[in-house]
Amino acid sequence: MTDLMRRIKRFLRSLMDPDRDFSERRYVLMTTISIIAVFLVLIGDIIIGENLPEILALAGIIIIGPIVTLISVRKHRLHVGSVINAIGIVCIVIPVSFFSGGGLTGGTAVWIAFAFLYIGIVMEGKARTLFLCLMTVTAAGEFAVAYFYPDLVTVHDRNMWFLDTVISALLVGFLIFIMVWFQNSMFIAENEKAVKQAKEIEELNRSQNRFFSSMSHEIRTPINTIIGLNEMILRENASDEINEDAVNIQSAGKMLLSLINDILDMSRFESGQMELKCGNYNTGDMLSDVVNMLWLRAKEKGLDFTIDVSPELPQELYGDEVRIKQILINVLNNAIKYTSEGSVKLQIQCEKLEGDRVNVVYIVSDTGMGIKKESLPYLFTAFKRVDEDKNRHIEGTGLGLSIVKVLVEMMGGKVTVNSIYKKGSTFMIEIPQPVVVSEGIGEIDMASHRKSRLLNSHTASFEAPGARVLVVDDTASNLMVVEKLLRQTKIVVDTAASGKEALQKTLDESYNVILMDHMMPGMDGIECMHRIRNQTGGLSRESVIVALTANAGSDVETMYEKEGFDGYLLKPISGEALERELYRLLPKDLVIVTGSSENLEKESVSWIREHKKKAPVLITADSLADIPGSLVKELGIVTMPHMVKTGEGLFRDGLEIGTRGLLTYMERNNEEVVYTLPPSVKDCEEFFSSMLELANNVIHISISSKMDHSGYHPTKEAAGNFDNVFVFDSGHLSSGQGLIAIEAARLAAKGMEPAKIIERLERMKEHVYTSFIVDTLDFLVRQSQVGARIANITKALLIHPVLALKHGKMSVSKVFFGARERTWNMYVSSVFRVPGRIDRRMLFVTYVGMDQRELKRVEEMIRKRIDFDKIYFQCASPAIAVNCGPGTFGCLFFTEY
């Protein structure tokens, strides 16, 4: 008896073992329970004297069932075992029990219900559907035979009927309870396992990020010394040979730094922390830096490295110079790496866009080994190296091109590849950028320009003999680098090798600026900074304290700002960057400018804590608002991106995925459903928190709360944590919502208070008209909003439905029959027949997948009927396009109120 109990306990433990396959445990459990049930029925039937055929059928399933189950588990053929058991139940046990066990006057009817449950739980896929149909037909056939041919059924007397039914009902009820109980227990265990695994993965990611950050810090520290001291060599009037070596050391050091940045950036991409930091930059200097870093590698391999820069390239552009450098360095480095002979060429072209913008095209071509056609889809995959067998001797992390693709798309550009295997490759990168100085760069000799920037004798941009700076760092070489880099500025530089030594110096001396390392033994830089701020009797409590550290990352920068630092400088630091920052930080009466103060100020990246006047009211809106970029910029409206979920992942609407790209993707994957999702509450909280750094009050214009996946609810919940964030339900979507956001921004610009703005918006939203004419219903079918049959009928009959917003929800308001342009004309004719006088100041025409000729035709139709002061044509956001498809457009406007 004791041995039997141990076996039962071991069996139960195996069923609850989370490491065992879930389907296998479920199959064994349900089959075991069913066999036990049949065994109990058999005993009952023998006791009450049931007919022999039913007893034999039950005995057969009791003998065969365990054997089939055991073999199928051991052979890992659960599907076959479940099919055999189901055949035995559906085709043998149930029919025999029904006809020989009393039919409707027995307990078989209850067991039929149990058979349905067994099939639904144990079986999977097509087999489940097949046996569901088979069981339905069997049960229906049995009842039909019992009704039309009652003589074929053995009928129980009243006592037997009662006993059989009671036993069956109690057993089935108890078995269903056990099945559901065990099923729920296993689901709970699986869920706990999944949660545990998710936590382990999250912890693994955190550990990976910590490792990357730590590695970055440890490598940046010696690089800081190498690059810093090497810069001092370049400042001296040394021989040509020494200068040439120093230039090469500088290039190699920056290449090593670029590799570290790539590894750290991949960690940021995965955690969603990558951000662009845009500013004005000189195109010639940027290209010179890129050439300086790569020409030596090309020279070592005997490659011709040529640069062809269009003279029309503007001298200054607005963008993230560091990231553009990183893109070019990664692509050029890749080209040099995979080219054994021949040449590598960088060609830069410039195309003018509307307004003060240009599309800069960077073309990198090589005569290397090229890329196989089947390898192209994996070219931008992280840690993936194509043609591994041939390239195993070529160094690299496999990160460069994946980082390039992400950065280019973040900048609103695109990267394309043309390659012929064994003949070479051409990468074309397009990045649109605003123009700062439109004058062209002219003819530029990069070969001579390359050395001139590094070998020119350095002259300090300013002098400050009356200024005093304290540098705190536990690495002696770092202290030496800063001292030497600041030598020509005549600043008095004191050094401290620890936090404790720094506190001793700040107790007796008043420093204008303190440059503080973070990672120091004993007392770290953060603790030291706080102690200096609160030091009793200290003379540097009001000093400007800047973190000068090897810890990289936007999250790190945010941490220092929150802790109370006045700035952040990243090692390795150049003399030029150090001078720019100190120029900003030092009192102006102590500074004597010897260079260009204009360059000093405009190139600085410090976020020193200066008083900045906040706007009284800031207007924000969902990315679905479809507001023209010119108005967004003019009125200072900030948009919060919704999310677009595809089979490739989750993308931020309008930032990480565009309308044209999404439509192309959906056309290629016509069976796939693409979803739009609102931002999470956490994302909304972070968004509002950042907006409140710019304004005292925030009014967020939300898409209609009655629409599916509306952002109203998470933004409303997030706003509950802020006293001065107000979420307004526009009751509209797309540019209808955008019209309200524009009016709100204009009211805010007039100085109106938030409460009065919201009061005006409540009246205003009843006078906004939103409607769209849809070319086909195919995209709505894919979103499960319309049936496929209805869509096919409308297509066959050339029906074009008009979707209009009523009471906050989209619905079909009317339909037009005929060819495309004819229905457009009818829609335009009808759309302006609304109550009240139309506000003619502006009209939004929001469209999806239409070309310029079609848009011009639509404008002509509108102008014939009503003359608006301004008509804005706005491409719908990806999240809106998902539900409409190409050929859709809508007229959105105000009536006077």
Query: What would the pLDDT profile of 480-510 be if each residue is shown by its tens digit?
Result: 888 888 888 899 999 999 999 999 999 989 9
Query: What would the pLDDT profile of 295-345 be if each residue is shown by its tens digit?
Result: 777 877 888 888 888 888 998 999 988 889 888 988 998 888 888 888 898
Q: What is the pLDDT of residue 894?
A: 84
Query: What would the pLDDT profile of 765-813 be if each residue is shown by its tens digit?
Result: 888 888 888 887 776 666 555 566 766 777 777 888 887 777 666 677 7
Model confidence at 612, in pLDDT bands (50, 70, 90)? Answer: very low
593-597: average pLDDT: 64
Peptide linkage before 311 cis (omega within 30 of 0): no
Distance CA 371, CA 368 (A): 9
Q: Which residues contact 367 (CB under 8 A, 6 or more apart)?
A: 339, 341, 342, 343, 344, 423, 424
Contact 494, 470 (CB under 8 A): yes
Tokens of residue 154, six digits: 């053995």
pLDDT at 568 over 60: yes
Contact 738, 844 (CB under 8 A): yes
Q: What is the DSSP letter of 457?
A: P
Tokens of residue 541, six digits: 């409590």
Q: Which residue has the higher pLDDT, 31 or 603?
A: 31
H or E, element range at 380:
none
pLDDT at 8 over 70: no
CA angle 681, 684, 690 (to 5 degrees): 145
Task: Count the Cβ atoms, other than its own, within 10 Å of residue 674.
Answer: 22
Query: What would the pLDDT profile of 687-729 be if each residue is shown by its tens digit?
Result: 887 787 777 788 999 888 887 778 888 888 888 766 678 999 8
Tokens of residue 629, six digits: 């970029």
- By three-state DSSP, how is residue 569 classified? strand
Distance CA 105, CA 107 (A): 7
Query: What would the pLDDT profile of 334-393 be if each residue is shown by its tens digit?
Result: 888 888 888 898 888 888 888 889 999 898 888 888 877 667 666 766 444 444 444 443
Mean pLDDT of the chain: 77
Global pTM reads 0.39
In angstroms, what is the C-alpha Rg of the chain? 37
Q: What is the pLDDT of residue 396?
A: 41
Across the strands, what pairs with 675?
645
85-102: average pLDDT: 79
Distance CA 848, CA 771 (A): 13
Residue found under tokens 């009842």: 143
Distance CA 111, CA 58 (A): 12
Contact 254, 228 (CB under 8 A): no
β-pairing verdict for 649-652 and 695-702: unpaired
- The b/e string for 567-577 (b: 16+ C-beta within 10 A; e otherwise) is bbbbbbbebeb
Output the CA–CA distances (angstroms, integers) from residue 798 to 542, 818, 823, in the order listed: 75, 5, 9
Q: What is the pLDDT of residue 545?
A: 93
pLDDT at 395 over 60: no
Residue found under tokens 């041919």: 149
Model confidence at 398, in pLDDT bands (50, 70, 90)? Answer: very low
Share of the chain above pLDDT 90, in %: 7
Query: What would the pLDDT profile of 96-117 be if each residue is shown by its tens digit?
Result: 778 877 777 877 788 888 888 8
Share of the chain above pLDDT 70, in %: 74
Closest CA to 846 of 779, 896, 774, 744: 774
Of 20-24, 61-65, 591-595, 892-896, give the lowest mean pLDDT range: 20-24
Distance CA 841, CA 406 (A): 40
Q: Which residue has the higher pLDDT, 202 or 517?
A: 517
Q: SS in 3 state form for 640-694?
A: ECCEEEECCEEEEECCCECHHHHHHHHHHCCCCCCEEECCCHHHHHHHHHHHCCC
CA angle 820, 826, 828 (to 5 degrees): 100
Distance CA 156, CA 402 (A): 76
Return the top range by mean pLDDT from 87-101, 227-241, 276-290, 455-469.
Answer: 276-290
Q: To the nearest 10°, the Cα dihedral for 681, 682, 686, 687?
A: -30
Angle between helices 158-235 and 240-271 (to 10 degrees): 160
Return the top range by mean pLDDT from 45-54, 417-426, 565-574.
Answer: 565-574
Closest CA to 506 of 543, 479, 474, 475: 543
Output the CA–CA distances (angstroms, integers) from residue 210 to 264, 375, 506, in the order listed: 10, 33, 32
In residues, how long is the chain? 897
Q: Which residue has the higher pLDDT, 1 or 70?
A: 70
Distance CA 828, CA 806 (A): 19
Q: What is the pLDDT of residue 668?
A: 64
Q: What is the DSSP letter of 842?
A: E
Contact 397, 259 (CB under 8 A): yes
Distance CA 803, CA 767 (A): 17
